[in-house]
Structure formats: C-alpha cells, structure tokens
Amino acid sequence: MHGMSDFDEEFDFVVVGSGGGSMCAALYLRARGKSVLILEKTDLVGGTTARSGGVMWIPDNPFMRRDGVADSYEKAATYLDSVAGGQHDAPAASEVRRHTYLTQAPQMVQFLVDQGIRLTRVSYWPDYYDDRPGGSSEGRTVVAELFNVNELGPWKDKLRPSFLTVPAMLEEAMALPDFRRSWKSRGLMLKVAGRAIAALLTGKRFVSAGAALQGRMLQAALRAGVDIRTDSPGVELIVEDGAAVGITTLRDGQPWRVRARLGVLVNAGGFSHNQRMRDTYQPGTSSAWSNATPGDTGEMIEEMMRHGAAVAQMEEMVGYQTTLAPGSEQDDIKPSAQRMTAAPHAILVDQSGVRYMNEGGSYMAYCKGMLLRDKTVPAVPSWAIFDSQYIDKYMLAGTMPGRKKPQRWYDEGYLRRSDSVAGLAREIGVDPAALVGTVARFNGFVANNADEDFHRGERSYDRWLGDRFHKPSETLGSIDTGPYYAVPVLPGDVGTYGGVLTDEHARVVREDGSVIKGLYATGISTASVMGRTYPGAGSSIGPSFTWGYVAAQHAVNNSGDA
C-alpha cells in the first residue's frame, strides 16, 4: 500500500476536465461536506459545454410542470425506448441506464435549482423524433438564464465564451434573423439592444447559452469552496489493486500526485480534435470540420483504456452539418448548415445529383446519413441546391439574406450559380438529367405538400427547423426561380459521442463487466445513454450533468467499497 507520503496533495474527490458534469458533481459533494478538486487542462473553464447552446434534454422537468406541459416518466421512457431501445450494439443505452437517466435527470435539475442556479426552459423546441410514441412536440429542454459574467470577479476572464455573443436567450436569438418579416422579431431586437445598452451603463456583461450555464455553475462551485485549477491536465490515473485512488497532474511543469479518497470522475470530453482516433473509429470524418473546443483530444479515454476500461459506440459523433465558406476554415465555430436544406426552396443531393434523406432530421441523423450514403455514392461533400427565393429570404453560411455574397465565394468555387438547373448541374459536375429530375420530383412533392420519398415536414421538428412564415408548408418550397445555386455541405460535428462504458452508477466498466473501483466518467468521455441516436436538443449536456450527479451520489454513499 502506498502511504499518504506518496501523494503531493489529497482531496475527497477529483474531477478531470471542467465539462458539464464536473461542477454539478462538485456541488453535490460540497453539499455533503466533501472536498473537491477540478483539474482543467486548458486556460479556460467550461469546456465545449460553455461554448454550446447550453441546452439539457430533461424529460418531465420542473419547468414543464411550471408551464403546464404534460410529461411523465412513463411517456419519456416510451419515447427513449422507441428511439434508443433495442440497439444491441449500444451497451451504454441499456434499459437500466435509460431508467436511471430518466429518474435522475429531473432530480439533478431540482438539486441545481435548490443550489440557486437559475434555470428555465425553451418554450417550444420539439423532440427530434416527436412523431414517435412518447415524443414531445413542445420539447424537454432546460437552459440557464442570462448571466452577468462580471459577478465572477477575478474568474470572469477564465470562463470559456459561448458561440452566441449577443446578450440574448437562445430562444430570442433564434427569432432575431426574422426581423425583416416579423414585428415580433423587430420588437425582440429592440429589447436585446436595450438590454445591451443598459448592461453597458450599469457595468454588466451578460453571457448566454452554454456560457450562462457554466458561468452560473462556476459561480456556485467557487462559492461552495470547490478548488478549480486551469492549465492543469490530468495525465495518469493512479491505480492501486485495480482501484483508482488518484491522478497525476502537472504543477509548474512537474508531475503532481493527487489522492482522491472517494474517487476520480473523468469529464474530459471526447476526441473530436484527435485525427488519429478519428481515423481509427470514424474514418472519413475530420477534426477540421468540428466545432468542439480545442481540449477535445481524447487522451483521458485512452488513459482509461490503458487501465482496462471497455469502450463502446466509438463510431458515433454528434454530427452537425457545416458549409465551409472561404475564410471560415480556421474559425472556432464553423458556418452552420443546420437549417439550410430544411428551409423551403432547398434540398440536399449527393454527387450524382440525387436526393437521399429527409433534410429536416436531427443534425446527428443528417451527418450519419451523409456518411452512410458515401459508402455507396460519393456524398462527402454533398450539395445544397437552392434557388433565388431561398437566397433572398434566408441566411447562407453566416451571411444575411440577399444575393450579394463575397466575390471570393464565386472565385474560389464555393458558391456555384447558373440560370438553369441543368446549368447548375454542369457547374457541380453532375449529370444534368439527374439533377433536373431530382428537382422536378421535389417540386411535385411541394405542389402536393407531401414529400413521398422522405416525409420531410411530417414531424413538428422538421417544421420547426423550417420557416414558420412559409405556407402551407414551413419546410417544403419550390425550387423554380433562377438563378439557381449550390454550396458544398460536410458532415461536421459538435463532439464525439462514444467513449468508455459506464454502468448505472457512472462507474467505468471493464470488458468483462466488472467495474474499475473509484473510477467514474461522464459526458462525451463515455458512450452515450442515448445509444446511436439524438432524441432531442440537449442530449449531450443533459447526460453529462446527470451522470456527474449520479457519480457524486455513488461516491459519497458507497465510500466503503469505492
């Protein structure tokens, strides 16, 4: 046995990575009087969770009850079973884990509310398969209220910024681009501008979305006395007699051994920015298309594997379609193509000019669809095909609606244009007859308001993704007004979605099913409880928080055998 002298420092619990579950676990442990250290290897706290929308998918959450939106454990279990049940090659989505998720997630939210974290819900954001049994068309989202980051005092510059840089709630931000067509959106714009001015006058700096969530968590964690260190990587797990008892980090460049009496929780993200791991597990995908934060490099997953951890669902990623306009290649956040081909007057085709999916599906399903198609017909990149009605009304690769686009987009062959569909086909190297046929068939579906091939528009989610002002269908609109345009679309991501296998207590499991004592993991360092699907907005961060909460409870309540 090692003695205390072998360690440089000692805590009850150590968390590696400051992701979604980290501060949630830490708050629970502090509430139970335990000491906690969080090690973050980058110079900023919050992970991709802070950069994100900050949405958590929490069925039957207290805010749905507050707003009179019907939900229940049974309804949610039916839904999750329908979208993620019976996936025999997805062991992390076992029935017992799905059951634990659905019971613990709302309790986790209530715990955070009791800790003073101000949360609410988005009023309407359908589940991504809302037409399945138990699906919710109103949605099961939980988000944080705007946060004045100046309240963090000396820590205010240590919080990783969100992708959303205006002081607006996500729901408000999603409505802003409609300002040309809606008085409500114009009013909202004034409200947000007024808020920005008021903040300026009163010395406040509001952050939103994921930064609001992680900012509020950081504030609560600091107040509760959690020790949080940046520039402090988890390097090697310290394992004795098959049990994790601590972690080696670096302090002033030197190894620093920290003992963790009740356990170590790994919340160190996935491997989006590790091309070697991507080539092994997700061939054909690229870290250059990822929106994950730079620390997402997978070494803690490999470190757990070194100690015998089983991995699962490693082929999965939370795909997020992107279109890399010239000059955006180096951006932290790649231009989104999420709403693009779900809007009216647009479709997605493969390199043979054929449409092959419901463009109104979840971003994960969309990118999975592209990669699957590519196995038989070249489809990476695919082409978004749209007409002048589209370009006049909707945003394109981060630019406002309208035909004036950077000349560079044409010069470098990114944005292709032609007066006819056949001409556009030649521009993108596709058989003109094929593309003309695809567009004609789609226009026929538009005329009948029914997509007979892929059923786009039949779910509330597809319609929500489209244009709420477009009638009769929010998502189906003709492609018949020249000039016609095309841009390439790639299967990017916002994170990987497979990792170490954990049990219903968030304990890391070996291949033989035994647990590695003292070792817990959460977030996208683990294989997702959602299996190979993305049930609704917040299906990554909801589980990250929830399994952190579950791990903390287990560590405190079972310290005898942990």
Ligand X SMILES: Cc1cc2nc3c(=O)[nH]c(=O)nc-3n(C[C@H](O)[C@H](O)[C@H](O)COP(=O)(O)OP(=O)(O)OC[C@H]3O[C@@H](n4cnc5c(N)ncnc54)[C@H](O)[C@@H]3O)c2cc1C
Residue numbers of the site for ligand X (CB under 6 A)? 16-21, 39-42, 47-49, 51-55, 163, 233-234, 267-269, 291-293, 295-296, 299-300, 318, 333, 494-495, 523-524, 537-541, 544
| Residue 331 burial (CB count, 10 A) | 13
Closer to ligand X by Cβ: residue 275 or 418: 275
The secondary structure of 484-520 as a DSSP string is EEEEEEB--EEEE--EE-B-TTSEEEBTTS-EEEEEE
CB of 188 to ligand X, least distance (A): 20
Structural contact between residues 360 and 468, judged by C-beta atoms closer than 8 angstroms: no
CB of 128 to ligand X, least distance (A): 12
CB of 377 to ligand X, least distance (A): 29
CB of 394 to ligand X, least distance (A): 20
Closer to ligand X by Cβ: residue 488 or 523: 523
Distance CA 45, CA 536 (A): 26
Closer to ligand X by Cβ: residue 272 or 438: 272
Closest CA to 497 of 130, 90, 95: 90
Closer to ligand X by Cβ: residue 135 or 298: 298
Joined together, the tokens standing for residue 184 give 């409500």
Helix, strand, or coil (residue 266): strand
Closer to ligand X by Cβ: residue 215 or 523: 523
The secondary structure of 67-125 as a DSSP string is TT----HHHHHHHHHHHHTT-TT-GGG-HHHHHHHHHHHHHHHHHHHHTT--EE--S--
Distance CA 441, CA 288 (A): 35
CB of 403 to ligand X, least distance (A): 28
Give the N- to C-terminal CA distance of the chain in Å, as an integer.
16
Q: Element (H or E) spanning 518, and its range? A: strand 515-521
Joined together, the tokens standing for residue 339 give 């709403």
CB of 280 to ligand X, least distance (A): 18
Closer to ligand X by Cβ: residue 163 or 484: 163
CB of 294 to ligand X, least distance (A): 7
Distance CA 259, CA 268 (A): 18
The secondary structure of 161-185 as a DSSP string is PPS--SSS-HHHHHHGGGGGT-HHH
CB of 271 to ligand X, least distance (A): 10
Closer to ligand X by Cβ: residue 369 or 495: 495
Closer to ligand X by Cβ: residue 233 or 466: 233
